Amino acid sequence: MRILGISGSVRRESFNTRLLDAAAEVLPDDVELVRWNGLKAVPPFDEDDEAGPAPAAVAELRELLANADAVLFATPEYNGSVPGQLKNALDWASRPHATNPLRNLPVAVMGASPGGFGTVWAQADLRRILSRIGARVLDAELAVGNAASSFDEDGPLADDAVREQLEEIVAALSDSARAREAVAA
């Protein structure tokens, strides 16, 4: 089983990218996490550009989504919501709506921030956006606030509470993907 990891941050030392890397350390045995790093290369969505071949980064994202059993998002929060670059990539991926590769795909959302709230508003917005796209959005939240202290030299897994919540969210995501497989079988 393959979980696709998507960080909403393109910053090199991103807390959210590192949170995904931490999730990869606590996966159930039969699960792998593949992280997508192409976010910065996705051009602004333009309906005119849909007439031609998809931009390479968009094609890559769509293929990764099509081959994933679930997606785990880690999003920063900019001005109280989802970063523009993440929303832009999802807008590309959601087209055409009726056949987009996120439809019915189990997805979970988490986030980390230097402030105390751990991107809860961005996560809520991202869940709403993913629902609208047609994904199977897990009713789960993992908000890592005060990330500078959680992400010290030992990494986020040194924080027992964060580690436990990461284990729970990847287990729940894997269970949702398995339930979906069972329906398809």
Contact residues: another protein, CB under 8 A: 96-99, 103-104, 131-132, 134-137, 179-180, 183
Please, which residue, 161 or 183, has the CB nearer to another protein?
Answer: 183
CA geometry: angle 13, 36, 106, nearest 5 deg:
115
Quote the least distance from Cβ 177 to another protein, whole Å.
12
Which amino acid makes up residue 176?
Answer: S
Phi, psi of 110 (to 5 degrees): -145, 175
Quote the least distance from Cβ 131 to another protein, whole Å.
5
Please, which residue, 31 or 135, has the CB nearer to another protein?
Answer: 135
Written in H, E and C, the secondary structure of the chain is CEEEEEECCCCCCCHHHHHHHHHHCCCCCCCEEEEECCHHHCCCCCHHHHHCCCCHHHHHHHHHHHCCCEEEEECCCECCECCHHHHHHHHHHCCCHHHCCCCCCEEEEEEECCCCCCCHHHHHHHHHHHHHHCCEECCCCEEECCHHHHCCCCCHHHCHHHHHHHHHHHHHHHHHHHHHHHHHC
Quote the least distance from Cβ 104 to another protein, whole Å.
5
Quote the least distance from Cβ 134 to another protein, whole Å.
4
Quote the least distance from Cβ 16 to another protein, whole Å.
25
Please, which residue, 20 or 173, has the CB nearer to another protein?
Answer: 173
Please, which residue, 139 or 153, has the CB nearer to another protein?
Answer: 139
Please, which residue, 46 or 181, has the CB nearer to another protein?
Answer: 181
